[in-house]
A and B are shown apart, each in its own frame.
Chain A
Amino acid sequence: MKESDEYTQDWKLSEDIKTGFAVPENYFKGIENDFSLNLIEKKLPKNNVFEIPKTYFEEFDHHIIEKIKPKKGKIINFKKIKLIPVAATIALIIFFGTNFFLNNTPELSSNEIVNWVDMNINTISSDDIAIAFTDINFDDIDPYFTIKSEDIIESLINSDDIDFLIEDANINEIN
């Protein structure tokens, strides 16, 4: 019998003295509900209507194992770190310069600048940077020197934010 344990555990037995047969208390009330539910359930669709990509479950294991593997600390090339702000500065100079000469309304949102830098960062080569900053000796930079990511985060937190840089640039233009 389906879920017989529940009947004996949850319901007290009531006994018919004449026949000696017993049924769980509330059995007849319960059977009406069960019958009514059965009728409704039979009318309802039961197919699995959700589909998945064919190889989903085969690939899932790999994804999850990759995610739980302990991550190794990232080694950041100092030369790169040095070049990112330099490249960003050049991008800003080019952007402000062009904007100053071609457009008389140099009001820019930080988003516009960030997007522009994102779009153009790959087109700036190290040669462009070397040409723009002839007074910097790039040989002084040790390419094998590494710094911790925590130090970078701390440095960024302590540095001026982009809005401050824009404000500064606007003041320079006005002057």
Chain B
Amino acid sequence: MIDEITLVKELQKAQTKEKAFKKLITEYKERLYWHIRKIVISHDDADDVLQNTFIKVFKGIDKFKQDSKLYSWMYRIATNESITFINKRARERNIDITEMKQEMVSNLQSDRWFSGNDIELILQEAVATLPEKQQLVFNMKYFDHMKYQEISDILNTSVGGLKASYFHAVKKIEIFIKKKTH
């Protein structure tokens, strides 16, 4: 684990910026990728969004005031970039965001980078039906094992609100899977 404060200082100095940025990519690329991938579903789209995320981080690091952790700040950028990406796609296709998400999941069956079985595909379909906040909380809590406090720092939502969102998300997923499998 790298020292975050030192890294931010290096990132904000012109002489050390590029070297520090390489360190930053090495440290966070995988975690951010998997976070983005669960939102945008396809590998190619996740790759685009991850690149945009790092470019935004590189451009915006000078303005980063360390009010939050670097890690939370980057997660927030990645989340916003992913949501912006889906919204843009939906606008281009002239469909609403829920429809767009369902279409993205329906493409999974023919996606060479998806290895899930039937039930795993149904779970992805169920997650796609959730409202945005519940979807994010579910992915971060269930798949990424993040603590509520960490999620709270990233999504700017109270821990209590997140617990409620997670509870509703899991219940809805259960109902969706029951309907699909019975």
Contact = CB atoms under 8 A, between A and B. Distances in A.
A40 B159 CA distance: 21
A64 B55 CA distance: 8
Contact of B123 (A3, A45, A63): A45
Contacts of A3: 147-149
A60 B33 CA distance: 11
Contacts of B50: 60
B85 interface: no
Contacts of A56: 43, 47
A37 to B, nearest CB: 5
Interface stretch (A46-54, A86-94, A139-147, A163-171): A46-54
Nearest to B147: A3
A72 interface: no
A33 interface: yes
B159 A60 contact: no
B56 to A, nearest CB: 11
Interface in B46-76: 47, 50-51, 54-55, 58
B98 interface: no
Nearest to A6: B159
Given A64-B54, A68-B55, A68-B58, A49 B120 contact: yes
B123 A6 contact: no
Contacts of A10: 159-160
Nearest to A69: B18
Contacts of B18: 65, 68
A80 interface: no
A5 B159 CA distance: 11
Interface residues of A, number: 28
Contacts of A45: 116-117, 119-120, 123
A57 B37 CA distance: 14
Nearest to B26: A61
Contacts of A53: 43, 113
B95 interface: no
B25 A46 contact: no
Interface in A24-61: 33, 37, 40-41, 43-53, 56-57, 60-61
Contacts of A63: 51
A45 B114 CA distance: 15
Interface of B: 18, 21-22, 25-26, 29-30, 33-34, 37-38, 41, 43, 47, 50-51, 54-55, 58, 112-117, 119-121, 123-124, 142-143, 147-149, 159-160, 166-167, 170-171, 173-174, 177
10 A-B pairs with least C-beta separation: A49-B116, A51-B113, A49-B120, A40-B174, A45-B120, A68-B58, A64-B54, A40-B170, A61-B25, A50-B37
